[in-house]
Every structure is written in C-alpha cells, then in structure tokens.
Amino acid sequence: FIHFLSAGTNHITSHPIYTSSKITLTTSSGIHGPMIAEWVIMTSLVSSHQYNALHTGQMNHKWLPKDDLFQKRHDNVGRRLGVLGYGSIGRQSARVCKAMGMDVIAFTASPRKTKESKKDGGFIVEGTGDPDGDIPSAWFSGLDKESLHEFLAQDIDHLLVSVPLTDQTRGFLGKEEFDVLSRKKKAFVTNISRGPIIRQTELIKALKKGAEVKTEEDEASDVTKGEGLGLRGAALDVTDPEPLPEDDPLWDAPNCIITPHISALGQIYLERSFAVLEVNLTHKEKGEKLINVVDRKRGY
C-alpha cells in the first residue's frame, strides 16, 4: 500500500496509480485535528474580539477608546457551530467549541443514524476529538442541495467547512447557500478544506454585503426577497487558486482572514503521520484491516 502524508488525495485523482491500479492508498487523516482546531479557534477569536483593531492600536502606540470596540465584541457562549464534514478536524473543533459553551451540529455525506455509525473509525490523536460522536446536538446528511440547505438553515453562527474536495463538493457553497445561512443572522465562515469547495467570487459578494450598514427595515426587505444578510466574516486557510495572486480581490474582502494553507503544519506533523503508517504496518503484519483507506469511488 501507499501512505500519503496529507489528509486528502484529490491532488492525485487523475494519476494512473489512482485510476488504473488497485494499490491500497492510505492517508494521514486524523493527525490534523489539534493544530487545525486551534487555528479555527484562533481566527474566530481574532474576529469576535476585534483583535486586528487592537493590534493596530498597539503598533501605533495608541490606547484605543473602549467605546469604539465595546458593541463589536462578543463571546461564544450559547452560539452554534455548524460542522460541514464531521471528520477528525471537525470533531476536535467541536470538542473545543463545546468547551467554550457552544452548541454543535454536524453534517455528513451519508446518514449517521446509529450509535456505531457516529463513531470515528480513523486515526485519533489521544485525548482529542469526539471518538463516539456524542458532541453534536443534531446530525444532518446528504450531498443534494435540499439536504445542505436544511442544515444551513439551522441558525448557525459559525460554519466550519471541512468536507473533502470531490466532484460532488466542488462549488458546494455559493450565493444560494450563503443566503440560506444568513437569513436570520450574519454568520462567520471558516474553510480549512480546499478552496474550490467555495465559489470565491460569491463569497466576496456575501462578505461585502455583510459589511454594509443597513437599517432593520432594509434587512427585513432583503430577507423577504429571499436574500440573506451577508456574512459577518470569514477565515480561509485555503483559496482558489493557490498561491492566491497578489491582485486577487479576495485579499481586500472585508472581515476576511487569509493564511497560506498552513493551519495543519507544526513541529509534530511528520511524527503523527508516521504514527498512522506504523499502525497500518502492524495491521498489515497481523492480517488486520488497515485504517484511513481511500475509497476511490467516493474520492476520499
């Protein structure tokens, strides 16, 4: 078998090894949860605590007036995290957000109606994640638009995009989805998966709309027309394309945090990836089933 250091294999789906061989492929899925979850929380707090403004004040040696920021800052108690793709990253993010007082709901491609089906069957870093799938207060599933919209309409404050990039999820989120997501409130969107899952020009428009100052009457009128309120902000560790060109309008989108696909990387990355390989070598030696095996038909 071939072991990949990455969580996904979308970068080799057109390679003969993927398309024309029966060689078993395994990934490092499961090792990314701790680092990426901390990035998810960090960027969320940068937004909700108005940290960029505070940092600018420090750089300019200015003690900012509290009144300027008071009404813009909030904590996360009682808010809702919607995890679009409840894998190891989503589970660890859910664990941390639950500890912060948030409610968590999960979305998966296939139904998870039994207790056994909700368990995490992949590699788990000890002491992390949601091994038994006990954290979400509700589960949603399906790759069709109706199922996705049902999930997005659940009063989500923070949407975490962590589904793998496949033919079904390419362009998964666009104007329609952002309108459904923001019918009642301006949500925050985080993407740590792959850039093409989001239709980027439509994300920019949703961010610009969310930054507009409107009266309650105007906002109510937009909702009546079937439009959303726009997005409160976004945190993107992935873009389309990568690297993001210097003149791309995404750089200047309001309330948008962009990092260069680095959220998973840290000092212990390779050690954890080889730990997955070690588990599978042991399983292979004993004639047991391997973990983190890629399903070529599903694309991950």
- Alpha-carbon distance 192 to 238, whole Å? 6
- Alpha-carbon distance 204 to 134, whole Å? 35
Mean pLDDT by 10 residues, the chain (300 residues): 94 94 96 98 98 96 91 96 97 98 97 97 96 98 97 98 95 98 97 98 98 87 88 98 98 98 97 97 97 93
Longest dimension (CA), the chain: 67
CA distances in angstroms from 44 to 14, 71, 117, 179, 216, listed in the order given: 35, 17, 30, 21, 26
List pLDDT tens digits, range 111-143: 999 999 999 999 999 999 999 999 999 999 999
List pLDDT tens digits, range 221-245: 888 888 999 999 999 999 999 999 9
- Alpha-carbon distance 144 to 134, whole Å? 25
> pTM value?
0.94
> What is the H or E stretch that residue 235 is in?
strand 233-236
Amino acid at 73: R
